[in-house]
Chain A
Amino acid sequence: MKQKSKAELWIAFAAIALIYVAVTVLEQTVDSNHIIFTVLKKGAIYSLVAVSMNLLNGFTGLFSLGQAGFMLIGAYTYSIFTMPTEVKLTESVYKYYEAAIKFDTGIFVGLICAGLAAALFAALIGLPVLRLKSDYLAIATIGFAEIIRAIFQWDVLGPVTNGANVMRNYLDLTDVKIPFTDIAFPPTLYVFLASGVCIGLIVLLINSSYGRAFKAIRDDEVAAEAMGINLFKHKEMSFIISSFFAGVSGALLAMYQYTVQAAQFKSAMTYEILLIVVIGGIGSVSGSLIASFLYIAASEWWLRGLDMGKFLGIEAPNLFRSGFRRFVFSIIIMMIVLFFSKGLMGDKEISFAGLVRRFNKRAKTAKGGGIDG
């Protein structure tokens, strides 16, 4: 991997800063009920989980489909930890059980704990599962996600998880405050910051020596082992880190949704995230980011009209009825899978080299990517 030029790095930073400024300005000027904020918030959350899945599938070559299970753990840990004790003691949420956990934490602690809980589970699951290969690993991780879902719905654990019932009244995005004040923090900006920091950490990891080891494992396990890379250690590490961030994104999703329930985290959710990763390009962080926002914007906003009787100004309630959006959507996805299997970005990243070239004439080669796994 070549060292990025300083100028290129600065441009990247500037671009990121610009995005944050834009979000801040948007949030101060546009009506907070506008659908754009739904898209931005959910898009940022899905970006995080998509990048975390990409770390496993795209950079380490482990085809894992357990993302929904880890998000569930994160979401539940967060909601259990941050639900105020006085809410837990009344009947309003724990209606059929007596809450067993009688303390509550702040949002930040809740988010970290959500990640840690998911990482802990991943560490345990990783021991048996990571010895399996490709599709066996995939099916085993789906299986674990389903088992996790069943455990969280088990009524014996009701005092902790509220059985299979809805968790609510925990600290959500409207409860985020600017530190040491009582002023509400702009919610969209908060989600962007939280996801941004996490994604930044993942990018740093990918570019570290560990990241290079991951890619070596992806490209050729035998060669990697011959070069002295401890296969299991690195796989387990990638799995745990990916799950940590999946847990955090689950917690963010819980914050965004106001309510959360185990039944939501089905394997369909993992497939959805996998499709985002595929659309963006397996092995491309920036691809996953772009794909997340496109996917969420299309499903929540642009294509909504397909479900609601009116699309592109054409009114046809019999054609554009409930479910048409998802039908059209799945056809588009199938097309991408079949004809653009590299996705938007392949395994490349957005490169600022081209921009740099204009300013100083020295040609820079774009960051090299690995071989498609």
Chain B
Amino acid sequence: MKKLVAILLALVLVVSLAACAKPAATTDTPAAEAPASGNPVVKIGIYEPASGDNGAGGKQETLGIEYAHSVSPTVEINGTTYDVELVKVDNESSNDKAASAASTLVSAGVSVVLGSYGSGVSIAASPSFEAAGIPAIGITCTNPQVTEGNTHYFRICFLDPFQGTVLANYAYSTLGMKTAYCLSKLGDDYSGGLVNYFVKAFEALGGTCVQDTFPDGNSDFTSYINNAKNSGAEVFFSPVSTEAAQLIIDQAESQALGMPILAGDTWDSNVILQAAKGKTVDVTVTTFYPEGANAEFDAGFKAWVNADATQLANNGGDDTVAAVTAMGYDAYFFALEAMKKAASIDPAAIMEALWSTTYEGVSGPIALDQVNGDAIRNTAYVKHANNETGAWDALPPVTIG
């Protein structure tokens, strides 16, 4: 018996060692793989989480890119038609996996990188892309530090100082709340940053904030919910990952939180809708795109996602159009637009061209400012979770400036 297993193990080892040859060959010569069409290939890296805290959101954003790829699998650059190949890598929502995930993309020879969902992993991978001279386009990472002070990271969504202000205005002026309880995850750039900007804006309006943080891997939120109740807060602001959000909603229900919950773009996910359905919690979020804003895109995406069980599962089990999906779709075409403008698939040329690229996306027009390469956006959409239908109800969008 033992011998048999030993032989089996030896086989497994041999197979895995032999494996080195094949992937090595593909990474050595990226262009050598001739596709069926005979066209040259341009590679776009997808740097997104597929597991971990932000796995659900990362998958939806990736779906948007993949749907865009299915709509337009080729691009014409300078008169030559290129086949676009997507190279996906999972950054596991973890900052320490960022460097090795990024180097996988770099060594695969991608021309441009899209992603990531979650600001922390984008910040952590940024130097790797910079060292390799590859431009990256942030899709929904809203923390200013992603693009600040560098010339290779761009972004097509709004930023946290804006989003925080919108949320603070909504809480203070629209809801009329004077005290807010803010909960962020320890060491998470996204929630920490957004809470910081929310607090600044909310206090400038005359409100007061109570801040709290929870450590990584925490699943017991009852004490935080009790803290919120005891602090005299009227609104619960918690722009954390969807994974924590499920638990917060569930425990807010059982502990009778009794105040509205506000959150940022991460909570715009059907994970939240499924968690809030049939409960009494009151969830409001700000986001990039409301379902129904572009009927053609919505219908196309729904048909595409329903056609494949894996895709449907990756979208959270139903065909809700998440804002991050729309953003992923726009990011793909924005990248193609930049390649056309650069008239080259050379990363350096694309990086140069990105500064002046414009594109009319489903989430609105995209143009970048000339300081950090951030999208010039001044509208955030507000959504409220409907506890009965399990869908989003659109509230009036907010425009500032």
Contact = CB atoms under 8 A, between A and B. Distances in A.
Interface stretch (B10-18, B273-281, B330-338, B351-359): B10-18
A166 B19 contact: no
B95 A332 contact: no
Given A166-B95, A302-B16, A302-B17, A34 B107 contact: yes
B90 A322 contact: yes
A369 interface: no
Interface string B94-132: 111011100110110100000000001001101110011
B103 A38 contact: yes
A303 B89 contact: no
A92 interface: yes
A7 interface: no
Interface string A91-105: 010011000000000
Nearest to B314: A321
Contacts of B123: 166, 168, 259
Contacts of B15: 312
B232 interface: no
B19 A311 contact: yes
B88 interface: yes
A335 B27 CA distance: 30
B23 interface: yes
Contacts of A311: 19, 22-23
B174 interface: no
A35 to B, nearest CB: 4
A172 B196 contact: no
Nearest to B55: A322
B151 interface: no
Contacts of B95: 166, 259, 261, 263-264
Contacts, number: 137
A355 B298 CA distance: 70
Contacts of A166: 95, 120, 123-124, 187, 189
Interface in B13-58: 13, 15-20, 22-24, 27-28, 50-51
B176 to A, nearest CB: 29
B16 A298 contact: yes
A82 to B, nearest CB: 14
Interface stretch (B1-9, B239-247, B393-401): B1-9
A309 B216 CA distance: 30
Instruction: Among A166, A168, A297, A332, find the residue whose CB has the most chain B CB atoms closer than 10 A.
Output: A166
Given A33-B106, A38-B107, A339-B5, A332 B16 contact: yes
A157 to B, nearest CB: 13
Contacts of B6: 339
Query: DSSP majority for the B interface?
Result: helix
Contacts of B145: 92, 95
Contacts of A247: none
Interface in A4-58: 33-35, 38, 42
A163 B213 CA distance: 12
A341 interface: no
Given A35-B103, A308-B89, A92 B149 contact: yes
B9 A335 contact: yes
Given A168-B123, A261-B96, A302-B17, A322 B51 contact: yes
Contact of A332 (B12, B104, B215): B12
Nearest to A296: B100
A92 B189 CA distance: 13
B23 A301 contact: yes
Interface residues of B, number: 56
A263 B186 CA distance: 9
Interface string B203-219: 00000000001011000
Contacts of A155: 213
A264 B104 CA distance: 19
Contacts of A96: 192, 196
A33 B131 CA distance: 9
A351 B149 CA distance: 52
A228 B19 CA distance: 53
Of B5, B22, B87, which is in contact with the most chain A CB atoms at under 10 Å from its CB? B22
A232 B189 CA distance: 44
B390 to A, nearest CB: 27
A262 B187 contact: yes
B223 interface: no
Which of B2, B6, B103, B131 has the most CB atoms of chain A within a 10 A radius of its CB?
A: B103
Interface in A252-266: 256-259, 261-264
Contacts of A263: 95-96, 186-187, 216
B2 A312 contact: no
B388 interface: no
B148 interface: yes
A42 B19 contact: no
Contacts of A95: 145, 193, 196
Nearest to A257: B99
B293 to A, nearest CB: 31
Interface of A: 33-35, 38, 42, 92, 95-96, 150, 153, 155, 163-166, 168, 172, 174, 256-259, 261-264, 297-298, 300-305, 307-309, 311-313, 317-318, 321-323, 328, 331-332, 335-336, 339-340
Interchain residue pairs A-B with the least CB separation, the first 8: A164-B187, A258-B127, A264-B96, A35-B107, A335-B9, A322-B50, A302-B20, A164-B186
Given A92-B145, A261-B120, A322-B51, 12 more contacts: A96-B192, A166-B187, A174-B131, A259-B123, A264-B95, A302-B16, A303-B16, A305-B22, A311-B22, A331-B12, A332-B9, A339-B2
22 contacts: A33-B107, A33-B132, A164-B192, A164-B213, A166-B187, A174-B131, A263-B96, A263-B186, A263-B187, A264-B94, A301-B23, A302-B19, A311-B23, A312-B22, A318-B310, A321-B50, A322-B51, A332-B9, A332-B12, A335-B12, A336-B9, A339-B6
